[in-house]
Amino acid sequence: MTPALHHRHATQTAAAPTRRALLRAGTLVLLLGTQHIARGATIVAVRVWPAPEYSRVTLESDQPLRVRKHFVSDPPRLAVDIEGIDLSPELRELVAKVRPDDPNIAGIRVGQNTPNVVRLVVDLKQAAQPQVFSLDPVAAYGHRLVFDLYPEKAIDPLEALIAERLRDMGADTPPPKASSPTGHALALPSATELPDPLGELIARTETERKPQAPAIASAPAAPPPITPRPTPHTDRLIIIALDPGHGGEDPGAVGPSGTREKDVVLKVAHMLRERINATTVGGNPMRAYLTRDGDYFVPLATRVQKARRVQADLFVSIHADAFTNPDARGASVFALSQGAASSSAARWLANKENQADLVGGLNVRAKDREVQRALLDMSTTAQIKDSLQLGGALLGEIGNVGKLHKPRVEQAGFAVLKAPDIPSVLVETAFISNPQEEAKLRTSAYQEQLADALMRGIVRYFAKNPPLARSRTV
């Protein structure tokens, strides 16, 4: 072997172990990298959203979390093992975030179950149907692991409305259970039938409250004098569904000073509810029903379902607008459009509002998507016509207390306005992104003015469009 060949052979022999070592080292780096990814998730925030309908627990992290869940029915509790993380101060915060008045969660326990596995146990106050799911990053949120804790006995909006109505009338007898032929709490009436479950429930409740007739005595006593029985009072209960936008994980628009849309519109809705409940139209009492009566997330399709379940006469969704230009100002009213939007701004706003389910955190399953699609594709020409009339009445009154962004009712494909049998409008009370209008929206005085204007608009609408004839014994 020549010296040159010998040198080349020696060099290759020396290089071979080096390459093998590098390959082994590379494999080790990859393995360590995989473990680092599995163990590297960091919890950045924890949140608890209590509500009578369901309570939600959210863990937000910078990477997806791997979990194993187990539900124990007696006593009811949800155990979730989160893999690849260690107990952190953020997770410990969950224990103190549970409020004593939470309708569903009794408490939360958290601890290091095994190395790299944190166990979280949610103790429940009643039998539940928990849902555990993950959400991809959207808007300002990172990865979210969500526990939705629904009571096993779902709250029926109709039954809740009846209970509230009877309380106000001084009744102390709980209303009977509202049910449907299908057994679903939110079953909807068919288009061909006009059942009146509200009237039926009230009538059944009144019947149950009547004292039983005494047993017949063996010797008949002298008949008492006959007195005329008062005619039962029958009137038309007018129901207005109020829909405060956003809620829970979805703050809606946020003003330059940090004012959150979801908070402002809920306050306006509460004020408007007080006015509606104290008003009669043509001698008929009115009743407000809120699709969201607290700080929690309600999917768009569920808002429509609730309004239809209580057979609302009107649906008013309350929002506060926002735009990239802080100079934009003024209130707007929108109705549904079956075709193209009435303006590019209306189309842009509808697209933004329709993203609420993504930010709020909708657990979308295949069958849910089908139900939502069916619910939100039943709009009718008559409903849109009535909605435009309602919007015009509201817009005229809002213009008396503040500036209007557009002098006419706009139209676009808002998902929350697609109840086929309820005149529905969406009111943007002001631009919360405008510093001056944000400051007004923060004041109780302006919120009261908005509630007064909306109330006057509703009364104006019914003056020209009396509600459909439907008697209810109340």
- Encoding tokens for residue 411? 């139209």
- Read off the pTM: 0.76
Cα 471 from Cα 49, distance rounded (Å)? 39
Cis peptide before 75 (omega within 30 of 0): yes
Taken as a whole, the chain contains a residue count of: 474
**Residue range 340-350, pLDDT digits in tens:** 676 777 776 77
Q: How many CB atoms lie within 10 A of CB 163?
A: 16
Amino acid 225: pLDDT: 53
Q: Give which of 290, 195, 213, 286 is closest to 244, Cα–Cα.
A: 290
Using 50, 70 and 90 to split pLDDT, how confident is the model at 1?
low
| 232 in Cβ contact with 468 (< 8 Å) | no
Percent of the chain's residues with pLDDT above 70: 72
Nearest to 245 by CA among 233, 234, 253: 253
- CA 87/CA 117 separation, integer angstroms: 8
Question: What DSSP assignment string belongs to 178-205?
Answer: P--TT--TTPPPPSS----HHHHHHHHH
Burial string for 17-47 (b: 16+ CB within 10 Å, else e) reads eeeeeeeeeeeeeeeeeeeeeeeebebeebb
Specify which residues 358 forms β-bridges with.
none
Q: How far apart are CA 46 and CA 82, in angstroms?
A: 14
- The predicted-structure confidence for 38-81, as pLDDT tens digits, reads as follows 456 899 999 999 999 999 999 999 999 999 999 999 999 999 99
Q: State the first-to-last Cα distance of the chain, in angstroms, to the nearest integer.
A: 112
Neighbours of 447 (CB within 10 A): 21
Residue of 194 and 378 predicted with greater confidence: 378
Q: 1 or 247: whose pLDDT is higher?
A: 247
Residue 189 pLDDT > 60, yes or no? no
The pLDDT-based confidence of 335 (bands split at 50, 70, 90) is: very high
Q: Report residue 377's pLDDT band, with 50, 70 and 90 as the boundaries.
A: low
**CA–CA distance, 443 with 446 (Å, rounded to integer):** 6
Which residues touch 433 (CB under 8 Å, ≥6 apart)? 253, 255, 256, 321, 322, 323, 324, 325, 326, 328
How far CA 471 is from CA of 235, 301, 308, 403, in Å, comes to 6, 28, 18, 40
pLDDT reading at 121 higher than 90:
yes
And the tokens for 456? 């006057």
**What number is the average pLDDT over the span 146-165?**
88
Whether 279 has a pLDDT exceeding 80, the answer reads: yes
Closest CA relative to residue 125, chosen from 185, 40, 52: 52
Banded model confidence at residue 184, pLDDT cuts 50, 70, 90: very low
Residues 210-239 pLDDT 10s? 554 444 444 445 555 544 444 344 357 899
pLDDT of residue 150 exceeding 90? yes
The angle that helices 444-464 and 381-398 make with each other, rounded to 10 degrees, is: 130
In this structure, what are the phi and psi dihedrals at residue 428, rounded to the nearest 5 degrees?
Answer: -95, 105
Whether the per-residue pLDDT at 166 is higher than 60: the answer is yes
Of 91-105, 209-223, 455-469, the one with minimum mean pLDDT is: 209-223
Interior/surface letters 248-275, b for 16+ CB within 10 angstroms, e for the rest: bbbbbbbbeeebbbbbbbbbbbbbbbeb
